[in-house]
Homo-oligomer: A and B are copies of this chain.
Amino acid sequence: MGSLGNVTPQSMHFAEPLRLQSGAQISDYTLMYETYGTLNADKSNAVLICHALNASHHVAGTYADNPKSAGWWDNMVGPGKSVDTDRFFVIGVNNLGSCFGSTGPMHTNPATGKPYGAAFPLLTVEDWVAAQARLAERLGIEQFAAVMGGSLGGMQALTWSIMFPERLRHCIVIASTPKLSAQNIAFNDVARQAILTDPDYHGGDFYEHGVVPKNGLKVARMIGHITYLSNDDMAEKFGRKLRNAAETNDYKFDFGIDFEIESYLRYQGDKFSEYFDANTYLLITKALDYFDPAREYGGDLTKALAGTRAQFLIASFTTDWRFSPERSREIVQALVDNRRRVTYAEIDAPHGHDAFLLEDPRYMNVVRAYYDRIWGECAAKEAA
């Protein structure tokens, strides 16, 4: 297995307005994307990777100016890796409304000449998929070999199979859910309240004030982060270890840092608040809350998936309490009800929801084996 080496982000502008599920529209927009590997002659080997909350189009490889800039799924995508870029033409795309170059709240609103801020429309997973579909068209890809994602990325992959059933042969949904639970929504809403009530948020128009609601973002990220880790893994890694146990084994009796876990979470929160956009955080958590493909079918997921044509790989992780295996099994059941061909892997991994981003031989091998099958089909198709 090698590394992809240096990769280069690209951008594509779409001048046609995009009508959104809310009824609003975006007059024009830009999407950032990256591609790895080579599109074959019959364009049958394209794979689309959809990202989760805080990731981007930079899925794999590194940037020439920064050797530490490995993509967020670099352990999964590359030459000889589970998603083998010697075989597949892989596309990573930054979603609309995100903060890594695609059009978002920090960009200029053509209607006002000022940053969108609070005026940037709320989006749904369906809106993202509609925008991604236009990118695919412009790249000349009529049908993906696979659309794949983890967590919120998995929701996009599932939505592809519903909205564009003929435009993907395989749908790979990892550590995801057919809809958020009340508890999931609750955590998202607390995170939003932390941002919305930060005085530096300025009703979403903080750009003009030259500030960033860092405290709110920090708290939001700390909350989120707790839900990404498993209880057991947190106990194992941090337990009740004190921050400076080597120096003194005493409690500090102030509101500084006593425990390692506090130090870790505050650091994660601070780091996040330095690079992530508050409006993006808000709109992505709303897209998560709104995701519910069964909704227009009276809550019947089987009906919602009746029009799908793809084959499916669904994977979950035993210690994921954010989107537990039970939630993945609901998707599997609805697919089985529809007599779709579905492979389900429930992977015994200690790392909670975050497991979908981490190196784990069983996990990587499940995905590898599935892509071997996809590759076999591509080869057969080419030979035919």
B-binding residues in A (CB < 8 A): 22-24, 121-122, 179-183, 185-187, 189-190, 192-194, 196-197, 199, 215, 218-219, 222-223, 226, 229, 231, 234-235, 237-240, 251, 253-255, 258-259, 261-262, 265-266, 269, 282, 286, 289-290, 292
Shortest beta-carbon distance from A324 to chain B in Å = 9
Determine if A255 and B192 form an interchain contact, defined as CB atoms under 8 angstroms apart: yes
A204 to B24, CA, bound (A): 44
Chain B residues whose CB sits within 8 angstroms of the CB of A231 once the complex forms: 181, 183
As for how many copies of this chain the complex holds, the number is 2
Determine if A190 and B235 form an interchain contact, defined as CB atoms under 8 angstroms apart: no
* 25 cross-chain CB contacts under 8 A: A22-B253, A121-B253, A179-B240, A180-B240, A181-B231, A181-B234, A181-B239, A183-B226, A183-B234, A186-B222, A186-B226, A186-B265, A187-B226, A190-B219, A190-B222, A190-B226, A193-B222, A193-B269, A194-B194, A197-B215, A197-B219, A223-B223, A240-B292, A253-B286, A255-B282
Shortest beta-carbon distance from A282 to chain B in Å = 6
* Interface-central residue, A187, A218, A240, by most chain B CB under 10 Å: A240
Shortest beta-carbon distance from A216 to chain B in Å = 8
Chain B residues whose CB sits within 8 angstroms of the CB of A282 once the complex forms: 255
Given A183-B226, A240-B182: A266 in contact with B194 (beta carbons within 8 A): no
